[in-house]
Chains A and B, each alone.
Chain A
């Protein structure tokens, strides 16, 4: 596509192979994105057009969006989701950077054991422990509460792991100079480590926000009361309520997906690079 300097010798055959591969890739790419375009298309269609096969609506309308935003307390659900996602992201990053720093840079007895124990929680997914977790959270009196929605979502080993790897790669000289100057560990963490981790912290912030914006199972279980619904729970209920009205359901889906798609478009390089390096290093 772009005119990078071509390798010196390039016989025609190889160029054709390359071209064919590019065409195949492009076809696969269109197939990959098709369901999302389909969702977008239906959200702009008036009811009679929903099951017609035209991708570009013949009579595009914003009525579906208006309906969802005015007839359903959708703003309320969006606000709930926003609050939960933001609080979880901020608190999680605070704790995870501290833990990551300690696990990478400070020597203390049991460090390796703690790290391995944390890593092993990767294998335990939420559905496996949801029954006892729910029972515990109920005992703590946190069902149908902000605390119940937020606190259990904070703890996840993925971020700790990534941050530890990042801190392992930082040069040691900075801390040593600070130590000689008499700075304490808290001071080093707060004024040296945290500012240095800005790139990875901002990437993780996006990933955490995304994960919490999209989470469904835990909010569904812990907060069945409708004024605490997050958008994903609302949208699943919305579907059962308006089972025939696909145009409304798709409009709601688009509203929920758009903010995250925008974030992704803006930060895609960062997000992709950070995921690329997760594959065990």
Chain B
């Protein structure tokens, strides 16, 4: 009885819904379906982004008090030698890491793009570092860099290049972190490039071969231009990773904490320090705002350089 009644009520509700014009029903369903994610992204990414911009105009004390200071935090940035140093380190890091990742990722992809059992095994080896956490990666590279007894210094010594301190020497430490960063991420970009390479129609290469083009020529005139969408993606994503990503943060946090002599102090590391060690939330937010502006500029530059990441058809 009750079951029947329930069924009836449900049917009535369904009928009422169906009475709505189909378009309205579809729109209502669509909005309700995206709502949880849309709200979540808004609250946990959008809002913090806006808050960062807002907070950059305030001085925040440890007791939750706010004081409006206008552009003072930005002025403080300009006068802070450590900020300039961190900015320089961040740019150096990105200028080393992004091209290296692009070239190595593409090179590995070209080496193993054809499907064979050997290549599948090799893809597996190149991708394996990705599976391990950055904390563990950082620890392993730290161990490999231990002065005199780690693998890296011993390798250099056995090549007759003398003793190098990989994490102790300010001139080398940043490069060591870049090395670990590139090692960690290269398999990911290799896969992305393989996907891009497989999208290039084979006919183009055949046509080029018939016209007598060399391998190098078809690489420059077919592969690279047709890889533009992939290149755009790789350049933007790797720049975000290098300039403000968790990857760079995690590595530096565990490997060097920014040392020696602030040689590996990235902007994001400095922001974290200012916020969570000194409670300077306003100042940290000002630097974060600048970081986002930088990333937008970088993305636009890559968008322009890869022609909007579009294929270029004749």
Q: Which residues on A are within 8 Å of B, measured CB to CB? A: 1-2, 4, 21-22, 24-26, 28-30, 32-33, 35-36, 38-39, 42, 51, 53, 95-96, 98-99, 101-103, 106-109, 111, 114, 117-118, 121-136, 151-152, 154-155, 157, 160, 182, 184-186, 189, 210, 213-217, 221, 232, 235-236, 239, 246, 249-250, 253, 256-257, 260-261, 264, 268, 272, 275-281
Contact = CB atoms under 8 A, between A and B. Distances in A.
Interface string B277-298: 0000100110010011001100
A217 B33 CA distance: 30
A257 B131 contact: yes
Contacts of B167: none
A257 B134 CA distance: 10
A122 to B, nearest CB: 8
B117 A51 contact: no
A102 B128 CA distance: 35
A185 B26 contact: yes
B126 interface: yes
Kindly name the residue among A24, A98, A131, A217 whose own CB sees the greatest number of chain B CB atoms within 10 A: A131
Contacts of A264: 128, 131
Nearest to A217: B246
Contacts of A239: 139, 254
B122 interface: yes
A28 B119 CA distance: 12
Interface of B: 14, 17-18, 23, 25-31, 33-34, 36-38, 40-41, 43-49, 51-52, 55, 108, 111-112, 116-119, 121-129, 131-137, 139-141, 143-144, 146, 149-151, 154, 183, 186-188, 191-196, 198-199, 229-230, 232-234, 236-237, 240-241, 244-246, 249-250, 253-254, 268, 271-272, 275-276, 281, 284-285, 288, 291-292, 295-296, 299, 309
A1 B117 CA distance: 7
Contacts of A154: 40
Kindly name the residue among A29, A134, A151, A189 whose own CB sees the greatest number of chain B CB atoms within 10 A: A29
Kindly name the residue among A101, A186, A236 whose own CB sees the greatest number of chain B CB atoms within 10 A: A236
B272 A35 contact: no
A21 B146 contact: no
Given A2-B117, A98-B36, A127-B272, A132 B48 contact: yes
26 contacts: A28-B122, A28-B126, A29-B122, A33-B125, A35-B141, A36-B128, A39-B139, A51-B149, A98-B33, A124-B49, A125-B246, A129-B48, A134-B276, A152-B44, A157-B41, A186-B29, A216-B135, A216-B246, A250-B143, A253-B136, A257-B132, A275-B195, A276-B191, A279-B192, A280-B229, A280-B230
Given A22-B118, A36-B128, A101-B33, A276 B149 contact: no
A133 B292 contact: no
Contact of B136 (A106, A134, A235): A235
A152 to B, nearest CB: 5
Given A107-B27, A123-B295, A131-B52, A118 B41 contact: yes
B129 A35 contact: yes
A136 B51 contact: yes
A221 B249 CA distance: 13
A26 B51 contact: no
A279 B128 contact: no
A237 B234 CA distance: 33
Contacts of A160: 37
A24 B144 CA distance: 23
Contacts of B232: 280
Contacts of B33: 98-99, 101-102, 106, 185, 189
A95 B36 contact: yes
Given A32-B183, A216-B246, A277-B195, A253 B128 contact: no
Contact of B250 (A2, A53, A185, A216): A216
Nearest to B189: A279
B127 A127 contact: no
B55 A107 contact: no
A35 B48 contact: no
Given A39-B136, A127-B268, A111 B254 contact: no
A278 B195 contact: yes
Given A39-B136, A235-B136, A280-B233, A124 B292 contact: yes
A253 B141 CA distance: 12
A36 B44 contact: no
Contacts of B44: 133, 136, 151-152, 155
Given A29-B122, A132-B51, A99 B36 contact: yes
Contacts of A253: 132, 135-136, 139-140
Contacts of A39: 136, 139-140, 143
Contacts of B30: 102, 106-108, 111, 185
Contacts of A32: 125-126, 128-129, 183, 186-187
B143 A246 contact: yes
